[in-house]
Amino acid sequence: MPSLDLLIPFALATALFAYMPGPAILYTAAQTMVRGRRAGFMAAAGIHVGGYVHVFAAALGLSAIFRHVPEAYMAVKIAGAVYLVWLGIGMLRRRTTASDIPAIKAKTARRAFLESIVVEVLNPKVALFFIAFLPQFVDPAAALPIWAQFLVLGTIVNLAFSSADIVVVCVASAVIGRVRQSGLIERITRIIGGTILIGLGTRLALARD
């Protein structure tokens, strides 16, 4: 493993990136606001699972393709942006009544999990983050192979990011749980959640990299 001189700054940088408000935190909050606490946790779990795709890709060097084939990066970027906007529009159009809630909860939680995996996998910026961030803390002289160091460090980063998402779910569900008794509040949270996803998708599509 890397030396202590590398592990300390790695831990500090990981914590900073994990708890800095960003797209994943906003996305998880939106899912919690619209679909509830269980769906929020499932969304966080989906992002976590999707994150391992990028960890393995970084370990295998596949993420470097984005650097050398701009068309591949752009294609994945646009696909992810369109998917986020589509999810946001779906939230804005969804209508839920009190009688529907018991039958919907399990389904929406599973859907949140699967959607979140797709959102994370289709975010090329996550791939570029891992391929740019992890090498700074890999020690070629260590006994552990470089690819194994990528996997270990990437797993730590992914767990740290997921811990931040879980905190967001708890906070968002606590706040929404107190004010979500009326139909008006339910509609407002649905509009806010859908707007966040549409905004994230639009920002991703229009961002200059």
Q: 104 falls in which pLDDT band (50, 70, 90)?
A: very low
**pLDDT, the chain, mean:** 77
- Percentages (nearest 5) of helix, strand, coil residues in the chain: 85, 0, 15
Residue 106 in this model has a pLDDT that exceeds 60: no
| Gap between the Cα atoms of 48 and 67, Å rounded | 24
Residue 76 in this model has a pLDDT that exceeds 70: no
Is pTM beyond 0.75? Reply is no
Residue 56 in this model has a pLDDT that exceeds 50: yes
